[in-house]
Amino acid sequence: MRVILRRQNILIAKQNRSTRVFSRPLYFFVLVVVCLSSISCTFQQKKRIFRRDELLMDTVVSIQIVCRDPGKAKHLLDKSFVLARKLADQMNSHNSNSEISQVNMKAFSEPVVISKDLERVIKKSLAISRISHGAFDITVAPLLRLWPIYKANKFTIPDRKKLDEAIGLVGWQNIELDALNHTIHFKRKGMAIDLGGIAKGYIVDRIVDYLKRNGIKGALVNAGGDIYALGRAVGGELWRVGIQHPRQHHKLIAILEVENKAVVTSGDYERFLIKDGVRYTHIVDPRTGFTVRKTASVTLVGDDTAFIDGLATAIMVVGATEGYKILGGVHDVDGLFVTEKKEGKLDFRWTPHFITYVSWASFLTKNNKPELKRPHSSIH
């Protein structure tokens, strides 16, 4: 029965998300990850879980907090969404008035003073670029413009010359951050930044910080598949996070149980366009200029949502084998990499510690099950 309830939750999430984006010719599907715990908690102790969902950044942002006082919960939810909206506005490069758009317009001519938040998120982005050898690069904006996957009728594969010109403008090393004066400067004319690969994770972290500072011990914050699970759910239970099957949208491939962890999934099945049988996604490989084809989805578990948001995007670019190596050099981040081999046939790889978060997974057999925290049956 509880499983059925959870499945209904998935459908609700799909309806919410699609309300805004279905006018576009692109298929937007269900949220990558669906949070499962809250439904059962709500049923058991209605008073202590408070939840609100809003459409933001083309996705559903959902905040659940464990709290005794409805007045306090309402206030914190109000303030959390004010914060989320403010940050989303600052980092939206599609709005010409946003802070990041101002940077894109002016930072070649002169150093531009930026807010603390922008400075932090750009600094973190540069660190991820270094770790991923440039697979994650926020200066991919000129390349992204060449792939209008959101406009199916206008979509054509860009010619090589245009791609090469745009690649010439990409390069995280050409961003100069001045930590003393809090400025940013672009070394190359025509450069531009897109924060789509990290902004959501950063916003999740900022909301969690805000809730913690206000005495909240348990919360689940989800921005379209970028999740932070703070403390525990009602009744001291771990938070349960379902990972969606990248090809069968009503199915899950795993359920994780976590506390004080970020769980981020990046995939090729939410924002994409299929033309002549080829799937074009919203993530581009800064080296080839093409949209990525290697990986169906990447789920990372770590401590810092923004960091693993960017890292998951990077691994979408480099694929499972390289991704595995990258995680080898990073402290305390574990991952599950899903690759489509033949039409619909998936291949799963994971780092050894990832399994400790899994309470159920479709891809585990008797041979690799013993490390599981709980037997499969406990989730039904």
Q: Please report, as ranges, the residues that interact with ligand ADP according to CB under 6 A.
A: 136-138, 140, 144, 194, 196-197, 224-225, 266, 270-271, 282-284, 286, 309, 312-313, 316-317
Q: How far is the CB of 185 from ligand ADP (least distance, A)?
A: 20
Strand partners, 271: 28
Which of 134, 158, 197, 335 binds Mg ion (CB under 5 A)? It is 197
Residue 286 CA to residue 278 CA, distance in Å, equals 19
Output 107 or 298, the one with its CB closest to Mg ion: 298
203 close to 88: Cβ distance less than 8 angstroms: yes
311 close to 332: Cβ distance less than 8 angstroms: no
Output 49 or 300, the one with its CB closest to Mg ion: 300
Asked whether position 309 contacts Mg ion by CB under 5 A, the answer is yes
Element (H, E) at 371: none
Q: How far is the CB of 50 from ligand ADP (least distance, A)?
A: 25
Residue matched to tokens 């994650």: 136
Residue 145 CA to residue 94 CA, distance in Å, equals 11
Output 306 or 361, the one with its CB closest to ligand ADP: 306
Output 266 or 281, the one with its CB closest to Mg ion: 266
Q: How far is the CB of 38 from Mg ion (least distance, A)?
A: 24
Strand partners, 335: 300
Output 81 or 307, the one with its CB closest to ligand ADP: 307
217: helix, strand or coil: coil
Asked whether position 205 contacts Mg ion by CB under 5 A, the answer is no
The gap between the terminal CA atoms of the chain, to the nearest Å, is 8
Q: How far is the CB of 41 from ligand ADP (least distance, A)?
A: 26
Instruction: From 68-76, 77-85, 101-109, 194-202, give the range in contact with Mg ion by CB under 5 A.
Output: 194-202
Output 138 or 220, the one with its CB closest to ligand ADP: 138
Output 50 or 337, the one with its CB closest to Mg ion: 337
Output 280 or 307, the one with its CB closest to Mg ion: 307
**Residues in Cβ contact with 297 at an 8 Å cutoff, skipping those fewer than 6 apart:** 32, 243, 244, 246, 265, 266, 267, 268, 269, 337, 338
Element (H, E) at 360: strand 358-361
Instruction: From 189-197, 267-275, 296-304, 351-359, give the range in contact with Mg ion by CB under 5 A.
Output: 189-197
Q: How far is the CB of 49 from ligand ADP (least distance, A)?
A: 25
13 binds, among ligand ADP, Mg ion, none (CB under 5 to 8 A by kind): none
**Torsions phi, psi for 38 (to 5 deg):** -60, -35
Q: How far is the CB of 42 from Mg ion (least distance, A)?
A: 29
91 close to 99: Cβ distance less than 8 angstroms: yes
Which of 265, 223, 225, 257 is CA-nearest to residue 241? 257
| Cα angle: 363, vertex 368, 374; to 5 degrees | 85
Asked whether position 313 contacts Mg ion by CB under 5 A, the answer is yes
Q: Which two tokens stand for residue 60?
A: 């559903």
Q: How far is the CB of 245 from ligand ADP (least distance, A)?
A: 16
Q: How far is the CB of 64 from ligand ADP (least distance, A)?
A: 19
- Binding residues for Mg ion, rule: CB under 5 A, are 197, 266, 309, 313
